[in-house]
């Protein structure tokens, strides 16, 4: 069976990729495992030099990789360039810091010598989504390879061109040929890869149902998992916030990647006293963002990645309107080819509506009015998700206290939008998953934290 990529801006078929047979997948796993057995003994200086090489390859290929992402999943090309540069950054970050993160740590005991050592565990399978087709992979691959592991990638079926490009980055940088492999398979084949005894752990970024399925199979096989799942990030705008600045940041976050980001702002919680002004400013800024051809430099919002995803999003919007949400902007599927959906603003959103309870993975903003600051915090936390959250206030001390103590999420930002950064841990709570990527915490997820005791 072939895996087909389709340009979501035009509906035009792009490349077709023949799925690997079970024998080919098994051979790839075997080869990756063999490569790891040698790689785990390579010293950090050599690993670092090769990872620096991967960063150079990425920077040399910014334009073709940005174009590839735009063609396969509709990302505005300006954002594709930024994504490729960010991948180079994470490669440099772990090239510079992995050795320090994994250095043995002495511990005082009654032994002559005792310490904690960090050792690679083997071949890690990454099941990755289409929305950030390079970044999601490199934020796993850079720490995993620097830790001495091997990597297998099962990418989303609509971005197999990106999957092969990532494999080629490591090959071009001089890494062992089979240390990182892309598996051209569909979702139904993931379970059999997890069952392979040479695969020791799994990391997944994707939907909550996908995470539950992978975690269930990995749990059956007693294999470690890290899951970064969905999000419905609340942005709490307090009464003393700089409203113009807050709105600009809220709109930027809501429309990043066409709204197709787990940590995009999705629920905007405002006090009723400032609801009307917030709605006016917010709707104006959303209207200014140009939707169109993602290859154009002035396009802010490209198409959704697939037509079926666009249609699911519109159904969530439609049901929310039926249940009482008011439309301030958008909410109509445009005529013509492509999976486009316009920037949309819903207000008077209440519990029970899809716009309140579910993740809206697209350029749709849900404004939720409340009567008090305490109610705003309660509404922010009233979600099955807990990936990111933000609070806007001129009182930075109060904002920090709310972010630290009161908002329930893996990342809480004050007076700016939530974003991933190689220097900070990234991950969620509740149905947004568990485990952490990035920083020192991410590289230690897939190592054996070994106690060594010498008497």
Largest distance between two CA atoms of the chain: 76
Domain membership flag for residue 427: no
Residue 327 forms beta bridges with which residues? Answer: 346
Same domain, 166 and 297: no
Same domain, 171 and 253: no
- Whether the pTM exceeds 0.85: the reply is yes
CA gap 202, 216 in Å, rounded: 11
Residue 451 forms beta bridges with which residues? Answer: 116
Grade residue 211 by pLDDT with cuts at 50, 70 and 90.
very high
Same domain, 209 and 341: no
Give the SS3 label for residue 232: coil
Domain membership flag for residue 131: yes
Q: Name the H helices within 74-106.
A: 77-101
Domain membership flag for residue 309: yes
Residue of 262, 358, 359, 431 marked catalytic: 262
Same domain, 256 and 344: yes
CB within 8 Å of 78: residues ≥ 6 apart: 297
Domain membership flag for residue 175: yes
Same domain, 100 and 112: yes
CA gap 19, 23 in Å, rounded: 11
Same domain, 134 and 264: no
Q: Which residue has the tokens 């090489």?
A: 53
Average pLDDT over residues 91-118: 98
Give pLDDT, residue 160. 98
Same domain, 281 and 197: no
Q: Quickly list DSSP for 308-376.
A: HHHHHHHHHHHHHHHTTPEEEE--SPPSSSS-----EEEES--TTSHHHHS---SSEEEEEEESSHHHH
Average pLDDT value over all residues in the chain: 98
Average pLDDT over residues 154-160: 98
Same domain, 221 and 276: no
Same domain, 290 and 273: yes
Task: Assess contact for 130 and 304: CB atoms under 8 A.
Answer: no
Domain membership flag for residue 116: yes
Domain membership flag for residue 55: yes
What CATH number is attached to the domain comprising 312? 3.40.309.10
Report how many domains make up the chain.
2
What CATH number is attached to the domain comprising 48? 3.40.605.10
* Catalytic residue flag (residue 312): no
Same domain, 310 and 368: yes
Domain membership flag for residue 377: yes
Domain membership flag for residue 210: yes
Can you give the residue range of the structural domain that contains 291?
233-422
Same domain, 37 and 182: yes
Give pLDDT, residue 121. 98
Average pLDDT over residues 310-332: 98
* Catalytic residue flag (residue 262): yes
Same domain, 373 and 241: yes
What is the torsional sign of CA 163, 166, 168, 174? Answer: negative
Residue of 228, 307, 358, 359 marked catalytic: 228
> Does 184 have pLDDT greater than 90?
yes
Give pLDDT, residue 1. 73
């Amino acid at each position: 069976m072939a895996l087909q990529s389709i340009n979501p801006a035009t509906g035009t078929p792009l490349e077709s990729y023949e799925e690997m047979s079970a024998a080919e997948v098994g051979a790839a796993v075997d080869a990756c495992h063999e490569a790891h057995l040698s790689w785990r003994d390579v010293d950090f200086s050599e690993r670092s030099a090769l990872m620096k090489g991967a960063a150079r390859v990425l920077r040399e290929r910014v334009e073709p990789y940005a174009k590839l992402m735009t063609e396969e999943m509709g990302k505005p090309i300006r954002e594709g360039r930024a994504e490729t540069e960010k991948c180079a950054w994470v490669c440099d970050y772990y090239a510079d810091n992995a050795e320090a993160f994994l250095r043995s740590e002495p511990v005082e005991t009654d032994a002559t010598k005792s310490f904690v050592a960090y050792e690679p565990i083997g071949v890690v399978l990454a099941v990755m989504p289409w929305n950030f087709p390079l970044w999601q992979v490199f934020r796993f691959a850079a720490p995993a390879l620097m830790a001495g592991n091997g990597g297998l990638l099962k990418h989303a079926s609509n971005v197999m061109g990106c999957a092969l490009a990532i494999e080629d980055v490591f090959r071009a940088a001089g890494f062992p040929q089979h240390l990182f492999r892309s598996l051209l398979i569909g979702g139904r084949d993931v379970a059999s890869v997890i069952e392979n005894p040479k695969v020791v752990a799994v990391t997944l970024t994707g939907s909550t149902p996908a995470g539950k399925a992978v975690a269930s199979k990995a749990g059956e096989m007693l294999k470690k998992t890290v899951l970064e799942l969905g999000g419905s990030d609340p942005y709490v705008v307090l009464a003393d916030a700089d409203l113009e600045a807050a709105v600009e940041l809220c709109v930027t976050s809501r429309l990043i990647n066409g709204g197709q980001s787990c940590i995009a702002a999705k629920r905007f919680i405002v006090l009723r006293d400032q609801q009307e002004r917030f709605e006016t400013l917010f709707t104006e800024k959303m209207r200014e963002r140009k939707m169109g051809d993602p290859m154009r430099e002035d396009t802010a919002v490209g198409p959704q990645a697939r037509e079926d995803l666009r249609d699911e999003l519109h159904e969530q919007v439609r049901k929310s309107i039926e249940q009482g949400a008011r439309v301030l902007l958008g909410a109509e599927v445009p005529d013509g080819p492509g999976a486009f959906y316009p920037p949309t603003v819903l207000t008077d959103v209440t519990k029970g509506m899809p716009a309140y309870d579910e993740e809206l993975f697209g350029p749709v903003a849900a404004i939720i009015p409340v009567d008090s600051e305490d109610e705003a915090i309660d509404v922010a936390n009233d979600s099955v998700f807990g990936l990111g959250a933000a609070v806007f206030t001129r009182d930075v001390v109060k904002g920090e206290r709310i972010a630290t103590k009161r908002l329930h999420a893996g990342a809480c930002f004050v007076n700016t939008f939530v974003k991933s950064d190689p220097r900070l841990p990234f991950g969620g709570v509740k149905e947004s998953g568990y485990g952490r990527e990035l920083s020192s915490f991410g590289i230690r997820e897939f190592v054996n934290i070994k106690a060594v005791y010498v008497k």
